[in-house]
Amino acid sequence: MLQTAVVAVRDRARLQEIVGVLLRFGLADLVDTLGLARFAPRGGQPHPEHPLDASRPERLRMALEHLGPSFVKLGQIMATRSDLLAPEWTAALQQLHSNAAPLPWETAQPLIEQSLGLPVDQVFAHFDPVPLASASMAQVYRARLPAAEDQEDREDGSDGENTHTASAGGNEVVVKVQRPGLRPQIEADLRLLEHLALLAQEQWPQLARYRPREVTRQLGQSLREELDFTVEAHNGDAVARHFAAQPEIVVPAIHWALSGPRLLVQDFVPGVPASAVGEDPALDGPLLARRGACAFLQMVLRDGLFHADPHPGNLLALPGNRVGFIDFGMVGRLSPQRRRQVLGLMRALVEGHGRSLSGVLLDWAAESEMPGRAPPSAARIEAAVDRFVTRHGPGASNGRLVMSRALQDFMALARETGVALPADMALLLKALITADQVLLQLDPQFDVVQTATPLVKAQLLQRYSLRSLARQRRAAMAQWLELADDAPHTLRLVMQRLRSGRVQADLDIRHIDRLSLALERAATRLALAVVSGAFILGLAPGLLTMGPRLWGIPLFAALGVAGAAASLAVLFITMRRQKALD
């Protein structure tokens, strides 16, 4: 069912490989649903490679891991969409990992030296050839720079200014190198997935609610950013600038002179994961939890730039009860409008203000409205929000608020009411759930309301402060003045068009090309029918008396009667079928 653009010659081999992997993991029904059965490898269906008792979500997770970084990232994105997928699917996809067999040093060393432009031993005082970690997109090593390097300013090539990031590891660094040959395969995967998403959304209504085109757009943007390590470096620098006045928050410094699109060199952060904090008596778990929560909420509510994957390996506890954030390959960005909507969610949890949360959900429902689907019911949304606030708001019967549990219920609420969350909000809620679970490892009695209340109130006061209101009023007045300036000219043009009868309407109708083709075919058939009928009517009087006779009836007359009877039968059947469809 794929169109020619999907099965381009350069991507056909990869498509056959994808189909073969899906079949090996027992996902033949998915292959059939997507219309990919004709691309199955020759020689029969491959032998399944999954445990016989594995669930379909688990088999899909294993297949995605087998297919490589593009599909691992796709699964990770879908794992954030609890508003679309049932819990058993998101739970399985959350277990996705991108571990891969490590590249041998003989392969990795030339890649590193090609990016550095120098031999490894001329840049680093020591370089451990045994990787710290190996994933499907990159491999990470531990190294040490010469002492003089640690004293140099690290210059950000984007603006020529020194970037003051928090340095935690002296001249100990980590080196992240990209695996070879990734881009061609990822671009092929993205082309295939984009075409599959287009077909799924247009031809299979049952798949359209999963918003495949939106997911593939998000996937393409995320993967292309991850292929350029300078994007990750800029993200880390931006977060570090936001916390420059808070020494308790540590972000590794980037060594820009040594970094590039396929190589990233940054300070080593000597921290331990949340699960190991209890083993060090010098670390204060509750204090670390409060500092980590405040930092994350500041990223979201104040800065609009947040760490989108704060799992235990990326959120570390450092000596002095400092909190370290590493690996900014995946970040989220929130517009001022989104931050106001997040504030509405936080306000509902902290103050029990459900009306603002209902308004946010109704806004998202309007954003996600799709042609041919009824919008979610406002009354149903408000009733669901009332139940949510009763369950998780102030004075809730279940006692202390657990943020991760509340947000999971909130995404289930969105799924049940038919509200598809915007992609940036789905990413944020998943990050908040992950961060809360890490904070609970630091302090099982962590009270998120106590930590969040001052920040929420501060943001509300800032939003409704006299200065903020005055700024909003000035911006609104400027827009009204621009509109007033443009109005006379626009009105004059409209009046001129009306007088001259040259008003045009530009309508964009879905599938208008198919309608045009159907009308063209119908007109052609009608013209042929008219011409044929004219010839038949002209020739009929002569044909009725000519030719052989069958039981005394002219043969041409008998054929004409039979043709007329067949035509009436076809017309009758067609009308009955159309009536049944109506």
Q: What is the DSSP letter of 198?
A: H
Name which residue leads in pLDDT, 284 or 377. 284
Residues contacting 303, CB < 8 A, separation 6+: 239, 242
Alpha carbon distance 442, 439 (integer Å) = 5
What pLDDT is attached to residue 155?
45
Residues contacting 68, CB < 8 A, separation 6+: 136, 185, 189
Name which residue leads in pLDDT, 73 or 239. 239
Show the beta-strand stretches assigned E in 197-247.
Answer: none
- The answer to whether 335 touches 367, Cβ cutoff 8 Å, is no
Say yes or no to pLDDT of 133 above 50. yes
Mean pLDDT rounded to a whole number for the chain: 78
Say yes or no to pLDDT of 103 above 50. yes
Alpha carbon distance 4, 452 (integer Å) = 53
What pLDDT is attached to residue 206?
63
Average pLDDT value for residue range 85-102: 82
Average pLDDT value for residue range 300-314: 89
Alpha carbon distance 342, 407 (integer Å) = 12
Alpha carbon distance 409, 430 (integer Å) = 12
Say yes or no to pLDDT of 191 above 80. yes
- Tell me which amino acid residue 519 is: L
Alpha carbon distance 133, 121 (integer Å) = 21
Alpha carbon distance 76, 63 (integer Å) = 13
> Residues 362-399: pLDDT tens digits?
888 877 666 556 677 888 888 888 888 888 877 665 56
Backbone angles phi, psi at 483, to 5 degrees: -65, -40
Name which residue leads in pLDDT, 346 or 381. 381
Model confidence at 159, pLDDT cuts 50, 70, 90, reads very low
What pLDDT is attached to residue 411?
87
What pLDDT is attached to residue 406?
85
- The answer to whether 357 touches 392, Cβ cutoff 8 Å, is no
- Tell me which amino acid residue 566 is: A
What pLDDT is attached to residue 110?
95
What pLDDT is attached to residue 128?
94
> Which residues make beta-bridge pairs with 273?
316
> Residues 60-69: pLDDT tens digits?
999 998 888 8
> Residues 142-153: pLDDT tens digits?
999 987 654 454
Say yes or no to pLDDT of 574 above 80. no
- Which segment of 78-82, 308-312, 539-543, 559-563 scores lowest on mean pLDDT? 539-543
What pLDDT is attached to residue 167?
45
What pLDDT is attached to residue 532?
59
Q: DSSP for 482-550, please give it.
A: HHHHHHHHHHHHHHHHHHHT--------TTHHHHHHHHHHHHHHHHHHHHHHHHHHHHHHHHTTSS-EE
> Residues 498-546: pLDDT tens digits?
666 665 655 555 555 555 555 666 666 566 566 556 656 655 566 556 6
Model confidence at 126, pLDDT cuts 50, 70, 90, reads very high
Question: Long-range contacts: 456-459, Cβ < 8 Å, 24+?
Answer: 456/301, 456/343, 456/346, 456/347, 456/350, 456/351, 459/301, 459/302, 459/339, 459/343
Residues contacting 239, CB < 8 A, separation 6+: 251, 299, 303, 305, 307, 325, 328, 331
Among the ranges 74-88, 346-360, 525-539, which has the highest mean pLDDT value? 74-88
Alpha carbon distance 231, 395 (integer Å) = 44
Average pLDDT value for residue range 98-116: 89
Say yes or no to pLDDT of 162 above 90. no
What pLDDT is attached to residue 506?
53
Six-digit token string for 256 = 């820009």
> Residues 388-398: pLDDT tens digits?
888 887 766 55
Helix, strand or coil, per DSSP, at residue 125: coil
Say yes or no to pLDDT of 2 above 50. no
CA angle at residue 448 from 444 to 450, to 5 degrees? Answer: 115
Whole-number Cα distances in Å, 257 to 115, 251, 489:
11, 18, 54
Burial class (CB in 10 A: 0-12, 13-18, 19+), 498: exposed
Say yes or no to pLDDT of 274 above 80. yes
What pLDDT is attached to residue 472?
57
Six-digit token string for 389 = 């606030």
Model confidence at 424, pLDDT cuts 50, 70, 90, reads confident
Say yes or no to pLDDT of 256 above 80. yes
Say yes or no to pLDDT of 577 above 80. no
Q: How far is CA 99 from the centre of its chain?
A: 21
Model confidence at 10, pLDDT cuts 50, 70, 90, reads low
Name which residue leads in pLDDT, 523 or 134. 134
What pLDDT is attached to residue 163?
40
Average pLDDT value for residue range 191-195: 85
Helices marked H in 105-211 — which ranges? Answer: 105-116, 120-123, 182-203, 205-208
pTM for this entry: 0.71
What pLDDT is attached to residue 144?
93
